[in-house]
Amino acid sequence: MTKPMRQDINLYKPFKNPNIDSWLLNWKQFWLANLAFSVFFLIAYIIFSISNQLLEKKNIELSNQAEKLKNEFYAVKKTYPSIFFKKDVAKTIEDLNKEISSQEKLLQNIVNRTFLSSLLITLSHSISKDCWLTKIDINNNSSDIILTGNGLSMLSINSFMKNLIKNQFFKSYILNINHIDNEPDPETKAIGFEITMVRRS
């Protein structure tokens, strides 16, 4: 009897040891790679430092420019009445209505137009630098004149009052100080005052 033939078939690939030298860097290549990374990070650090210094310089320039504009704004703000810079619109309108009512009252109380003209001319000559009037009340047939205003300093207010006393128009009046603020207004930086000129009896 013939013995059947048998042949084994190996379906698995033979195991080969990995070639480590094919993918590992040698010491020279390793040091060159480290050097390249070090140079790259050094250049990136230098670029970052220069950019940071430029940004700091730009920030200082912008801060100085903002401070300059702020000072210019406050300088211009001092030349206008505080009513133009109030945040509350309703309060601003109310103040405007009060000022209009005050002006109407002033016109109603003045009978002698010549006196009003002379008074305004005299006040325009007597007013000092950095000092302005916000309200003029004339009562009791021009016997009492109440002047309300603001000044940027006590020196300017004192100068205005001295000019009033020296003026011939007020030689028949006595000057009384009703009120002077102790501290400047936080918004306008001005010192408010109110004085009364009373005709001598």
Asked, for residue 130, whether it belongs to a domain, the answer is yes
| Four-point Cα dihedral 69, 71, 73, 75, nearest 10 | -150
- Whether residue 147 is predicted with pLDDT greater than 90 in this model: the reply is yes
Asked, for residue 34, whether it belongs to a domain, the answer is yes
For residue 129, what are the domain limits? Answer: 82-199
- Helix pair angle (154-166, 113-126), 10° resolution: 130
Query: How many domains, in total, are found in the chain?
Result: 2
Among the residue ranges 14-18, 105-109, 154-158, the one predicted with the least confidence is 14-18
Higher pLDDT, 57 or 108: 57
- DSSP H helix total and E strand total for the chain: 4, 4
- Whether residue 21 is predicted with pLDDT greater than 70 in this model: the reply is no
Q: Which of 76, 100, 117 is the last residue of a domain?
A: 76
Per-residue pLDDT, 88: 65
Phi, psi dihedral angles at 186 (to 5 degrees): -60, -30
Pairing mode, strands 173-180 and 144-151: unpaired
Per-residue pLDDT, 69: 86
Asked, for residue 4, whether it belongs to a domain, the answer is no
- CA-nearest of 126, 106, 105 to 116 is 106
pLDDT bracket for residue 28 (50, 70, 90): confident
Q: Which CATH number belongs to the domain containing residue 167 in this structure?
A: 3.30.1360.100
Spatial separation of the C-alpha atoms in residues 60 and 7, rounded to whole Å: 89
Domain shared by 141 and 46, yes or no: no
- CA-nearest of 143, 147, 167, 144 to 157 is 147
54-79 tens-digit pLDDT: 888 888 888 888 888 888 888 877 77
Higher pLDDT, 73 or 10: 73
Mean pLDDT of all residues in 71-90:
71
Per-residue pLDDT, 116: 77
Asked, for residue 137, whether it belongs to a domain, the answer is yes
